[in-house]
Amino acid sequence: MGEDVEKLKQRLSLLDYLRQQNWVARTTGHGSEFVGLCPLHSETRPSFYVNARKNLFYCHGCGQGGDLIRFVQLSRHLSFHESLSYLDQQSALTADPAAVLEQAATFYQQQLERHPEALRYLEQRGLRDLALIKELRIGYAPGGSLRRHLTAQGYSCELLGRLGLLNSLGYDAFYRRVIFPCCQGGRVVNLYGRSIAAAFAHRFLPGSKGSLYAWEQVQQCPEVILVEGLFDYAVLWQAGFRHVTCSLGTHLNAEQFQQLCDRPRTIYLTFDVDANGSGQQASQQLAKRLRMQGITTRLVLLPDGHDPNSFFVQGGDARQFQVLLEAAQT
């Protein structure tokens, strides 16, 4: 029974269920914590908090708290077993893609420490801070095991294929790749995989890559460093630059562009200095678009052939990067 209950809660998260019930919430400053009016009693000031990562709720107004099953018991006046039956029907009717991607991201994160080749690869890319690796939820896809894990949770191969987690042959789509979850509003909206072998280096799942990476952490900053790659983001964060975000490529989608323009700020465009000039050309084009919206821009000129990741891997340090920021061109 206990195992079945956990699988049920994994298939249908508390936050997803509340949103299906039209619960309106806002983040509390942390990407996985939300607050809104309590669905269990009448109130005018939000006191109902949800921790999406822990899958728990607590209301400071009525004092009720617990997990998804407890919420259903209270809101629908059902017994424990009646709540299980109800939720089982709900999860069969609605398989939320974000819940599946959350399960995949958690599984990949658990695999990382079990595969020394993945940790060695991260070290080669300049990531040595285990606390940061855990905070960013970096994982590893060894291949051949995600399908078995998720189908055991009750998800169909058809659904996994539709999300891009399985390829056309039914095998794990990510194989020997370091995985970064891409989140938006506390929900995993995509997964980025970087090959540690000879396969095509970059891979996203089908669909939108979402908003700017970890935007909630820098939205209030008057100055923001914009990089194009997640390893660029990670080494800068590790070096102490906390006002950094990532566009997951040089071409911003409409939402990402609007995020940069939501208030007056200075954007330090820190794209790759490629041999063919594509990174700097993209920087100049983006700078022009941002200036038309009243945003101040600075073009950070890295040494030829470098991106922020390789700059640090090949001996650069925080002080030297700060000099590059100060010398950035208008």
pLDDT one-digit tens code per residue, 148-202: 888 776 677 878 888 999 998 999 999 999 999 999 888 899 999 999 987 788 8
Q: Which residues on adjacent β-strands are paired with residue 266?
A: 223, 296
Q: Which amino acid is at 110?
A: Q
pLDDT higher than threshold 60 for residue 1: no
Phi, psi of 287 (to 5 degrees): -60, -40
Q: Please give the pLDDT value at position 30.
A: 61
- For residue 309, give Cα distances in angstroms to 31, 131, 245: 25, 18, 14
Q: Of the given ranges (27-41, 72-86, 109-123, 280-294), which has the lowest mean pLDDT?
A: 27-41
DSSP secondary structure string, 209-238?
--SSBTHHHHTT-SEEEEESSHHHHHHHHH
b/e for 233-255, b at 16 or more Cβ within 10 A? Answer: bbbbbbbebebbbbbbebebbee
Phi, psi of 184 (to 5 degrees): -150, 120
- Which tens digits make up the pLDDT trace of 212-239? 999 999 999 999 999 999 999 999 999 9
Contact 102, 187 (CB under 8 A): yes
Phi, psi of 166 (to 5 degrees): -115, 145
Count, in order, helices (H) and strands (E) of the chain.
15, 13
**pLDDT above 90 as % of the chain:** 68
User: Residue 252: how many CA atoms within 13 Å on its side-chain side?
Assistant: 26
Q: Which amino acid is at 34?
A: F
Contact 187, 31 (CB under 8 A): no
